[in-house]
Amino acid sequence: MTRRALSLRVYSFHEHPNTERLMTTLHHSLWRALGLSLLALTPFVMPGAQAQPAAPALEAPAGRAAKQAGTAARDMVAAANPLAAQAGREILAAGGSAIDAAVAVQLVLNLVEPQNSGIGGGAFIVHWDGSDVVTLDGREVAPAAAKPERFLGRDGKPMPFYDAVVGGRSVGVPGTLRLLEVAHRRWGKLSWPQVIAPAMRLAEEGFAISPYLNGIVTQDKYLQNDPIARTYFYGEDGKPKPVGTILKNPAFARTLREIADKGADAFYTGEIAADIVATVTRHTTNPGDMTLRDLEGYKVEERAPVCGSYRTYRVCGMGPPSSGGVAVLQMLSTLEPQDMASIRPGPDAAHWISEAGRLAFADRALYLADPGFVSVPVRGLIDPGYLKTRAGLVSPDKSMGRAKAGDPPFQKTEFRFAPSDGVEFGTSHISVVDRDGKAVAMTTTIEDGLGARIMTRSGFLLNNELTDFNFAPEEEGKPVANRVDTNKRPRSSMAPTLVFDADNKLYAVVGSPGGSQIITYVTKTLVGILDWKLDPQVAVDLPNFGSRNGPTEIEAGTEAEAWKSALEAKGHQVRAISMNSGIQAIVIGPNGLTGGADSRREGVAIGN
Ligand code: GLU
């Protein structure tokens, strides 16, 4: 059995408020145990896993498989599925830009990893064109009819999570396709039909169902209730189509052809739009209220990038409505006074990173939401003076337990603290660097694995992103920042990130799925690359650990479990849980590109 399989044993039910989510988590561990066991048995080889010349890589932990790692001279793509990464690589080889590759990768992911992202969902792009960082927000939007009480039951209390998720109620107006189009118009080199072609070909000719997709469908109990999804994902015997089955999606091929001919308008108006609205509003048990006007009115927003320094580096990420960029910068800033390079991976590192997480998550819960509805004090939250005071709250010897939100300068809030965080799986991250040194970090989601469990006739699943809003609109009689509202975007944790060196040269492209854990995963990886000088594959595969201002979480089945007693001695309440990241990282060194794709999922980093 692999080390990952151990997480099956260390779980206990009361660790999870929601048993169904636990089952999802368990399933992921199982999938990993089965799907990756061969990899784990092979001796540790890292094709091209090279040390940065100035910074020797640490020894790779024993037994760690790294088939995912890659090196390249000119360009690279790291994505969560080999077919998707290959599509991106072909586009790059044909002279395409980073964004051309990202479009191809996303559309192929929609087919081969449909549980995690697609044109039925939303995404953020952080783009580097060689001189500027631009961040684009393609987050889903609540329909005009959405009200703050959307996720309250008849008793006025927040609904059970899956009562809200499954069906039309949780579906936000999808943003991913408009985002791809806007980005492609701005930075694309190849034609729009050219970047769509790889996905269209695969949709027509079919692709083999992967262990990950099969595993997710097998464990899910809602998807089979959707008639279109049932025909697509299940055999005539009612069982999920097995691993290796060649799956064709002619409906999606037609959709892509329309989109190739008419652009994203083909999706946001006309027949496909009508199909989306019908799928959402005609759901038999939990209909939603999305309209054609909602779809037609969807807009991608360009947001100010959130940038800050970490040691000699500059780190840039996604601002609100994502909490990702702010929280990652806050965590790094809390770590900066420590000599993380000599602390090394271990219980002390877990202590500092957990405490940094507590502080960041306390602020996140109070302040972060859609900036169109709430005045988010971004400037104050990443103000160096403020962060220095916050970092001063961390003791080297004792955990602070639960952190309180701070009082950042420049702005006051009228909102109430409202924690609500699950661990979701319906997300994917794409990192690309092209031959001109342009880069894309794109994190893309349909929220929970398999989203709202409803599939359109046009061949794609719809998101359940609206459950990223807080269900309870008020706490202690005051509104919570991330409550549902008309045309509002739910708060995200997605943290597509770019790192620049002291000469403002692009150094790294990083991101991950994992719900609110994303913030921890990305921070860990950045510390691994920037402080511990690890090869990106090794940094990605380090055990996950951190805190979201609750218990200190360590990844079950990894060597981090051995850190438990040292952490407890500092007063941490430690929980070993599955921490199923899907980090994709590319580092640009003087001799080319080195990439890593999370061995917890199916990704690869490949290039030319
Ligand atoms: N919907 C989540 C977010 O935007 C991400 C879920 C996931 O990572 O699976 O923060």
List, for residues 228-242, the tens digit of each pLDDT value: 999 999 999 999 999
Kindly write down the DSSP assignment for every residue of 174-218, as one continuous string: P-HHHHHHHHHHHH--S-HHHHHHHHHHHHHH-EEPPHHHHHHHH
For residue 244, report the distance from its CA to the centre of ligand 1, in Å.
28
Ligand 1 atom at minimal distance to the Cα of residue 490: 4
Q: What is the pLDDT of residue 410?
A: 82
Average pLDDT value for residue range 498-513: 98
Task: Tell the burial category of 236 from Cβ atoms under 10 Å away from its Cβ (0-12, 13-18, 19+).
Answer: exposed
- Name 522's Cβ contacts closer than 8 Å, sequence gap at least 6: 324, 328, 495, 497, 510, 511, 512, 583
For ligand 1, pick from 109, 425, 445, 581 the residue to mutate: most ligand atoms within 8 Å of CB.
445
Say what the pLDDT of residue 370 is: 97
- Is 493 assigned a ligand-binding role in the annotation? yes
- pLDDT of 24 reads 38
- What's at 485, amino acid-wise? D
pLDDT over threshold 80, residue 393: yes
Token pair of 205 as six digits: 């000719």
- Is 139 marked as binding a ligand? yes
Residue nearest to atom 3 of ligand 1 (CA): 492
* Ligand 1 centroid to residue 512 C-alpha, Å: 9
- Highest mean pLDDT (candidates 24-28, 42-46, 451-455): 451-455
Instruction: Give the pLDDT score at 426.
Output: 86
d(CA 15, CA 353): 21
- CA 298 to chain CA centroid, Å, is 22
Which residue, judged by its Cα, is nearest atom 4 of ligand 1?
A: 492
| Reported confidence tier of residue 56, pLDDT bands at 50, 70, 90 | very low
The whole-number average pLDDT for the span 361-377 is 94
Q: For 263-267, 373-377, 383-387, 585-589, which range has the lowest pLDDT when averaged over its residues? A: 373-377
Q: Of 494 and 65, which is predicted with more confidence?
A: 494
- Residue 123 C-alpha from the chain's centroid: 9
pLDDT of residue 603 exceeding 50: yes
From ligand 1's centre to the CA of 211, what distance in Å? 22
DSSP string, 344-362: -SSHHHHHHHHHHHHHHHH
**Which one is catalytic: 427, 467, 523, 594?**
427
Asked which of 32-41, 68-77, 350-359, 519-528 is least confident by mean pLDDT, the reply is 32-41
The confidence score (pLDDT) of residue 419 equals: 54
Residue 595 has what pLDDT?
Answer: 97
Ligand 1 interacting residues, C-beta cut-off 6 A:
424-427, 445, 447, 468, 492-494, 513-515, 518
If one residue of 424, 465, 469, 520 were mutated to test the ligand 1 pocket, choosing by the most ligand atoms within 8 A of its CB, it would be 424
- Give the model's pLDDT for residue 351: 98
In-domain check, residue 490: yes
Q: Which three-class secondary structure state does DSSP give residue 568?
A: helix
Query: Where is 342: in which H helix or E strand?
Result: helix 340-343
The reply to whether 427 belongs to the active site is yes
Judged by phi (left if over 0) then psi (alpha if -120 to 50, else beta), residue 306 lies in beta
Distances (CA, A) of 43 to 65, 66, 475, 525: 7, 9, 53, 23
413, 373 contact by CB (below 8 A): no
Nearest CA to ligand 1 atom 5: 515
Q: Is 440 exposed, middle or buried (0-12, 13-18, 19+ CB in 10 A)?
A: buried
Q: Is 100 annotated as a binding residue?
A: no
513 CA: nearest ligand 1 atom: 8
Closest atom, ligand 1, to C-alpha of 494: 10
Q: What does the pLDDT read at residue 18?
A: 34
Reported as a pLDDT band with limits 50, 70 and 90, residue 31 is: very low
Q: What is the DSSP letter of 541?
A: H
Per-residue pLDDT reduced to its tens digit, 145-183: 999 999 999 999 999 999 999 999 999 999 999 999 999
pLDDT score of 266: 98
To test the ligand 1 pocket, which listed residue (176, 420, 448, 493) has its Cβ within 8 A of the most ligand atoms?
Answer: 493
Structure tokens at 498: 């770019």
> In the predicted model, what is the mean pLDDT of the chain?
89
Helix-helix angle 176-187:98-112, to 10 degrees: 160
In a domain, 334, yes or no: no
Least confident range from 46-60, 177-191, 533-547: namely 46-60
**Structural domain contains residue 85:** yes
The reply to whether 354 sits in an annotated binding site is: no
Lowest mean pLDDT among 49-53, 89-93, 134-138, 429-433: 49-53
| pLDDT of 185 | 98
CATH (domain of 569) = 3.60.20.40
Residue 248 has pLDDT above 60, yes or no: yes
The tokens of 245 are what? 């089955």
- CA–centroid distance, residue 47 to ligand 1 (Å): 31
In a domain, 311, yes or no: no
Domain residue limits at 455:
4-55+68-301+421-607
Residue 350: half-sphere exposure toward Cβ, Cα within 13 Å = 30
State in Å: Cα 52 to ligand 1 middle: 32
Average pLDDT on 33-55 reads 31
Nearest ligand 1 atom, CA 139: 4
Q: Answer yes or no: is 95 a known binding residue.
A: no
Note the pLDDT of residue 476.
87
pLDDT, tens digit, for every residue of 421-440? 555 568 999 999 999 999 99
Local structure of residue 555 (DSSP, 8 states): E
Q: Are 69 and 46 in contact (CB under 8 A)?
A: yes
Q: What is the pLDDT of residue 27?
A: 37
Whole-number pLDDT of residue 420 = 54
pLDDT at 2 over 80: no
Phi, then psi, of 461 in degrees rounded to 5 = -80, 150
Say yes or no to pLDDT of 396 above 80: yes
Tokens of 563: 């850190």
- The three-class DSSP label of residue 440 is strand
Other CB atoms within a 10 A radius of the CB of residue 571 amount to 14
The secondary structure of 120-134 as a DSSP string is TSEEEEEEE-SS-EE
Place of tokens 């609904």: 159
The token pair at 481 is 């920042």
61 pLDDT more than 50 = no
pLDDT at 4: 31
Which atom of ligand 1 is closest in space to residue 424's alpha carbon? 9
Residue 295 is assigned to a structural domain of this protein: yes
Residue nearest to atom 1 of ligand 1 (CA): 447
Look up residue 13 and give its DSSP letter.
G
Is residue 372 domain-resident?
no
**What whole-number distance in Å separates Cα of residue 608 and Cα of residue 604?**
13
Flag whether 264 is in a domain: yes
Q: Where does residue 323 rank: exposed (0-12), middle (13-18), buried (19+ CB within 10 A)?
A: buried
CA of 597 to the centre of ligand 1 (A): 18
Ligand 1 centroid to residue 203 C-alpha, Å? 26
Distance 398 CA to ligand 1 centre (A): 31
pLDDT value of residue 414: 57
- Using DSSP bridges, classify how beta strands 497-500 and 313-317 pair: parallel, antiparallel or unpaired: antiparallel
Task: State how many domains the chain has.
Answer: 1
Kindly state the DSSP code that residue 366 receives in the 8-state scheme: H
List pLDDT tens digits, range 65-84.
446 778 999 999 999 999 99
> By alpha-carbon position, which residue is closest to atom 7 of ligand 1?
515
Atom of ligand 1 nearest to the CA of 516: 10
| pLDDT above 70 as % of the chain | 87
Q: Which residues sit opposite 498 in a β-bridge?
A: 316, 509
